[in-house]
Amino acid sequence: MSEKSPKLRAELDGIPTYKPGKPAASGGAVAYKLSSNENPYPPLPGVLESAVAAAGNFNRYPDMACTGLVAELAERFGVPVEHIATGTGSVGVAQQLIQSTAGPGDEVIYAWRSFEAYPIITQISGATSVRVPLTDGDVHDLDAMADAITERTRLIFVCNPNNPTGTVVRRAELERFLDRVPSDVLVVLDEAYKEFVRDPEVPDGIEFYRNRPNVAVLRTFSKAYGLAGLRVGFAIAHEPVAAALRKTAVPFGVSQLAQDAAVASLRAEDELLGRVGSLVCERERVHAALVAQGWTVPETQANFVWMRLGERTADFAAACEKAGVVVRPFAGEGLRVTIGETEANDLFLHTAEAFFKEL
Ligand SMILES: *Cc1c(COP(=O)(O)O)cnc(C)c1O
């Protein structure tokens, strides 16, 4: 047949596909998945029960406005309900933010390397990615990012802590940066790992949102709250940005299961954040052990560590996998390892030590 295939938008050519973290191998030795920054703990009992109860009604569409969840979040953060917009994970909300602000001819600035969804969702919208290299210490170069702003800039992502490096930007430098950004350019503070931050100089993005209408804060239930599989995240933003997010949302995108589980998670916050505390302890232990082994590992405020291994990345990832730990390699650059259960972390450290000795 010589018929032509349906015409697709040229912008889709060459979009990198999102690489999900590899699943842990099944069969054979124990295998741990440290490749997707997930929470290793299973859902809390109360959270599970609310999801199971919601499942009994899944012949019905969910509450499209996520009324209960939005009310709960508004109260918790002390913001108007109109300033909260939910979506299918914070990646979903990030995509809506781009759809709301940028199209062909417009520019979206972000650090690189940073979250791998940014280039994908930017390209889908037809906008142009402007990638600003991290500093030598793998930190956002905010001065260079401000210098990169042009007439065409519509949106800037600041991923804090940064995925995959775990590094942070602190209050004073972020404030200086925001002062340089024109008020008609939206700055999105992606705080997917906020709950793991212990450095008091790392600001809560909501501080900046309060008196800056061009700042939006992105949060998710996928990491600290352990609901990655349910797909629910949200933004806190002023009008008209929040209203634009409601316009660009996929109708009924967030399931009732996700909404109810998210509310239950917020109510079980003490216990959840206790788990986060244990993961932070494990992070400090893993980081210190790697440094003691001789590795250079940037300070991390997230639930993962970053090892800049360059050409040795693939070999080390293979060694980890052989040992039963699946990590996230970025070929030729480095490797991101999620902090998991203690046994998984031990197995990883063991593998790292053996690998270092053979270098
Ligand atoms: C994991 C992650 C998200 C959250 O993804 P969800 O879509 O909410 O699961 C957002 N931003 C960054 C930087 C992340 O690492």
Collect all residues with Cβ–Cβ distance below 8 Å to 229 and sequence separation of at least 6.
Answer: none
Q: Are 320 and 348 in contact (CB under 8 A)?
A: yes
Q: Could you tell me which of 277, 218, 302, 254 has the C-alpha nearest to residue 41?
A: 277
pLDDT at 252 exceeding the cut of 80: yes
What integer pLDDT is reported at residue 1 of this predicted model?
60
Q: What is the mean pLDDT of residues 187-197?
A: 98
pLDDT at 238 exceeding the cut of 80: yes
The band of 21, judged by pLDDT with boundaries at 50, 70 and 90, is confident
Q: What percent of the chain has pLDDT over 90?
A: 91
Q: What is the mean pLDDT of residues 305-309?
A: 97
What integer pLDDT is reported at residue 19 of this predicted model?
81
Collect all residues with Cβ–Cβ distance below 8 Å to 146 and sequence separation of at least 6.
Answer: 177, 180, 181
Residue of the CA atom closest to atom 15 of ligand 1: 163
Q: What is the mean pLDDT of residues 305-315?
A: 97
> Cα of 91 to ligand 1 centre, how many Å?
6
The band of 26, judged by pLDDT with boundaries at 50, 70 and 90, is low
Task: Verify whether ligand 1 is closer than 6 Å to residue 115 (CB atom).
Answer: yes
For a pocket test of ligand 1, which of 91, 110, 191, 337 has the largest count of ligand atoms closer than 8 A to its C-beta?
91
Residue of the CA atom closest to atom 2 of ligand 1: 192
Least confident of 29-33, 83-87, 330-334, 347-351: 29-33
Give the Cβ contact number of residue 130 at 10 Å. 18
Task: Verify whether ligand 1 is closer than 6 Å to residue 89 (CB atom).
Answer: yes
> In a 3-state reduction of DSSP, which class is residue 314?
helix
What integer pLDDT is reported at residue 18 of this predicted model?
80
pLDDT at 25 exceeding the cut of 80: no
> Cα of 279 to ligand 1 centre, how many Å?
18
Task: Verify whether ligand 1 is closer than 6 Å to residue 295 (CB atom).
Answer: no
Secondary-structure breakdown of the chain: helix, strand, coil percentages, each rounded to the nearest 5: 45, 15, 40
